Structure 1
Amino acid sequence: MMMVMRVGMMGGGGERVSCVRIRMESITLSKEGERFLRKIALRRSFSAASTSTQNLIRTFVVASPKSVVLTTLSHLLSPSTSYPHLATLALPLYARITQAPWFTWSPATAAQLAALLHQLGQPTQAQSLISEATSKRTRHLVRFYGILMESHSKRGSLSAFHVAYAQLHHLLRTSSSLHVKRAAYQYIVTGFCAIDRPRQAEDLAHGLGPGLQPSPFEFKSILYAYGRLGLFGDMVRVVEEMERRGFAVDTVCCNMVVSAYGAHGDHAQMVGWLRRMREYWGVPFSVRTYNCVANCCPSVVRMTENLDELALGVEELKEALEGLGEGVVIGELLLGCGVVLAEVMVWGCEEVKLDLHGLHLAGAYLVVLIWLEEMRRRLSADHDCLPAQVTVVCGMGKHSSVRGVSRVRVLLQKMMLRMGSPLKVDRNNNGCFIAKGKAVQNWLCQFRNPPTP
């Protein structure tokens, strides 16, 4: 699964330490950026240094908004770019961007480009970017080396990773700024966790001097790495140490543990930890809890991929999963659904709105089933307030793997069609489903068994 951790800490000067990411996110291209890259990709003989390519780059940078240009560059710098054969385009595009009047040097962009150039066998160009970074202020240099470590780890360049680590560790030892030390320490811990060396990261955490103690962020990075590797004893030990130090075991921490067990198919442990969340720690389930649990249930995932197999109600889903370990997991998840519904649903006399943003496909499926049960319960009761309109927001696919294609919307459309629902795609916004409140009330009160497709 995709797990991204962010941390914000205030330094002595009131500046915010930039986020530290466990895994790079895939950058979604804008339509303009897609057209630009496609135009170059379709050329018979692509050369980043050719005059025609340089002209296309210059026109694109001059004619496009800053956000479009930077997003396009970020996409090329991502290890998961959809145009890996255009990787050599990143340097000339960056060179042209540096000439734009709006250009501001970014340690993250420079570091990601340096890592890419190293992978492409262009060490001189990579070193030039590193040399430029060393002339920047220390807090920028820390971020540069931190992102450089992360980028090398994602590209499998372990020797370069250790070179960047050595520079960052030097800053950690020599800087007099607690702000700089803290940022360097976080990057080093997450860096070693990213290359599957959580024990080395943990040893560092215990070897810090006075005034620089590990925070919940570092512990979560370490326990997540142990869990990803299937080292569950070490993972649980880190959680117990967090408790001993007085750190709260929160939703994020529990989600990491549950998803680790789920990734290895241990549904019994998933159930145990979900119960501990509810009964022992009082930790509420979240949208991400639903995502990570649903993604670890193969039968549920299979239903959302083969839409003709979808169970169209909570009870029907329970019957389909009866006898399976994941069925017990889903049952436990449903017990904590009230908090999640409060997070994603707004109820008012004018409108009831369900917002599915942030939910993965399987998680969205579960939430919709729960929401329909709750809607039926409320609308069957003697309510003073019948909503004038019911809206389900599923998004237009801006962040989908294929831009503009929302898998959640396709899923919801199939469900509503099979159930004979009055909820239809809004003609003015195809990222929403709408219906009159009275029509939804009549439908839910009458709907028991889905009609034959």
Structure 2
Amino acid sequence: MIGSLTLTIPPPWNHRHLRPTPPSIKCESGGVPLTKQGHRFFSSLAATADVNDPATANRLIKKFVASSPKSIALNALSHLLSPRNSHPQLSALAFPLYTKISETSWYNWNPKVVAELIALLAKQGRYDESEALISQAVSKLKFRERDLVQFFCNWIESCSKHNSKEGFNDAYLYLSELTCNSSSVYIKRRGYKSMVNSLCEMDRPNEAENLVDEMRKNGLKPTLFEFRFISYGYGKLGLFEDMERMVCEMEIEGFQVDTICSNMVLSSYGAYNAFSKMVPWLQKMKTLQIPFSIRTYNSVLNSCPELMSLVQGLDSVPLSLGELVKILNEDEALLVQELVKSSSVLDEAMEWNGTEGKLDLHGMHLGSAYLIMLQWIEEMKCRFKVEECVIPAQITIVCGSGKHSSVRGESPVKTLMRKMIVKMKSPMKIDRKNIGCFIAKGQVVKNWLIPDGEGE
């Protein structure tokens, strides 16, 4: 029998806060960014309170919640609920923290937070607490079918992210029953989409494909999302024939292969060093006029061990596209050549006018930033050699200051750019007003790239 829980329950969950967002520290594992206040709180917990010492932990939690604004308290809870939180030894304190937050005057019940907490509790084997929360949520939402299906979807997706098999199976049963019994097409579509997605997250794409067959029998045509989930689910497991089969089925159903789908395919090939399949796929993208994106670059170049070794080593990094292609092995050289044949990513990343010539490297992983930088240098040389070329007053490289890096304030891209700039003897310097940028006068950059007489 499901137990009762005498809580009021969780708060509104929004990554956009109404008040100014406090400084945050990116957790090392890439999970939810943590505020400085939250970081101090967790450090205090780790130093003075053992998870088996509930009295001390509860005292610190009570003090933190009482003295913290709503956004700070919720950020700390969000961090503990994340599957990738950088304080896993403190994850058992998520429930006590949640309980204390639920008692505040500003607190509003939020099913997404409850779903995430249930998934974490199930992973920890704390079934009494999780079942009580499930019972409470179902009771609150049972007359609001759309809200109920959203809760079940959040729950099953959270379980899949935590890789909690037992919690996943429970959530699947609830969601499957609601989906099958509902007369609403919206409920059925939402339920099937979430189940397919979550099965693929749990490395069960064959079951997800069976679910798509069930959708068809129930009169629902699969959407692009289901095909993407399943093809990528197979791809992550290295089952390329099944992945390619699903892509073909997607096209037969009338859906076009797009950049998102292509990036999933490339990422799958790259994870297994299937370079011989990556080059033809890049060529297929060009034939079908599917634009490359920053993620295309990231997916391809992250799978190139020689190139990644070069950019991480820094000292021996080639400073031109020609040098790079010569030094790489044949497979990686072919991939680089296919990428640079298209200028679509460079065109998106750069601006060029009389005021400023700017290259924005945000969103690029190390290999992508390096290759785009080399392309940009070549592009600037070509432009400066044209007599009618507009010379920007300032040239700027935007690489960020490391706010979102694994170690706050240490941007790998910025470090790479600095090394390249020094080795190239470039006139660009760190902007004193924005340490995430390198700047120089446009005419000075032109004189550096095109010495006197070379542009004639």
Same fold (TM over 0.5): yes
1:152 and 1:210 mapped to 2: Cα distance? 26
1:104 and 1:191 mapped to 2: Cα distance? 28
Cα displacement (A) at 1:45: 4.4
Q: Given residue 198 of structure 1, which amino acid in structure 2 is its aligned partner?
A: P
* Corresponding residue for residue 335 of structure 1: 341
Tell me the matched-pair count.
420
* Corresponding residue for residue 174 of structure 2: 167
CA RMSD of aligned residues (A): 2.0
2:408 and 2:151 mapped to 1: Cα distance? 30
Alignment of 1:142 with 2:142, yes or no, is no
Would the aligned equivalents of 1:48 and 1:88 in 2 still touch at CA under 8 Å? no
| More relative contact order, 1 or 2 (CA 8 Å, 6+ apart) | 2
1:306-342 deviations in Å (ceiling 9; x for gaps) = 1112111111111111x42111111111111x11112
* Corresponding residue for residue 132 of structure 1: 136
Structure 1: state its 5+ residue gaps.
1-23, 448-453
Q: Given residue 364 of structure 1, which amino acid in structure 2 is its aligned partner?
A: A
* Corresponding residue for residue 270 of structure 2: 262
1:206-260 deviations in Å (ceiling 9; x for gaps) = 2214552111111000000111111111111111111111111100111111121
Would the aligned equivalents of 2:396 and 2:439 in 1 still touch at CA under 8 Å? yes
Alignment of 1:324 with 2:330, yes or no, is yes
- Indicate the larger mover: 137-146 or 189-198: 137-146
* Corresponding residue for residue 176 of structure 1: 183
Q: Given residue 124 of structure 2, which amino acid in structure 1 is its aligned partner?
A: L
Would the aligned equivalents of 1:28 and 1:403 in 2 still touch at CA under 8 Å? no
1:396 and 1:335 mapped to 2: Cα distance? 30
2:319 and 2:68 mapped to 1: Cα distance? 46
* Corresponding residue for residue 368 of structure 2: 363
Alignment of 1:66 with 2:73, yes or no, is no
* Corresponding residue for residue 96 of structure 1: 100
Listed as ranges, the matches of 1:42-121 within 5 Å are 42-43=47-48, 45=50, 49-50=54-55, 52-121=56-125
Listed as ranges, the matches of 1:49-448 within 5 Å are 49-50=54-55, 52-134=56-138, 135-136=140-141, 137-208=144-215, 209=217, 212-279=220-287, 281-321=288-328, 323-336=329-342, 338-446=343-451
Cα displacement (A) at 1:397: 2.1
1:105-130 deviations in Å (ceiling 9; x for gaps) = 33322122112112223211111221
Do the aligned partners of residues 104 and 431 (structure 1) sit closer, same or farther apart at CA in structure 2, a change above 3 Å counting? farther
The list of structure 1 runs, each at least 4 consecutive aligned residues, that deviate by more than 6 angstroms after superposition, is none
Question: Which SS does the other structure have where 1:308 is aligned?
Answer: coil
1:122-153 deviations in Å (ceiling 9; x for gaps) = 21111122112212233232232223223323
1:404 and 1:63 mapped to 2: Cα distance? 28
Cα displacement (A) at 1:164: 0.8
Do the aligned partners of residues 352 and 67 (structure 1) sit closer, same or farther apart at CA in structure 2, a change above 3 Å counting? farther
Would the aligned equivalents of 2:310 and 2:317 in 1 still touch at CA under 8 Å? yes
1:435 and 1:63 mapped to 2: Cα distance? 46
Q: Give the TM-score normalised by structure 1.
A: 0.88
Would the aligned equivalents of 2:122 and 2:166 in 1 still touch at CA under 8 Å? no
Would the aligned equivalents of 2:381 and 2:450 in 1 still touch at CA under 8 Å? yes
1:382 and 1:104 mapped to 2: Cα distance? 64
Question: Which SS does the other structure have where 1:309 is aligned?
Answer: coil
Cα displacement (A) at 1:384: 4.3
Do the aligned partners of residues 107 and 25 (structure 1) sit closer, same or farther apart at CA in structure 2, a change above 3 Å counting? farther
Once the two structures are aligned, what percentage of the paired residues are identical?
46
1:201 and 1:46 mapped to 2: Cα distance? 38
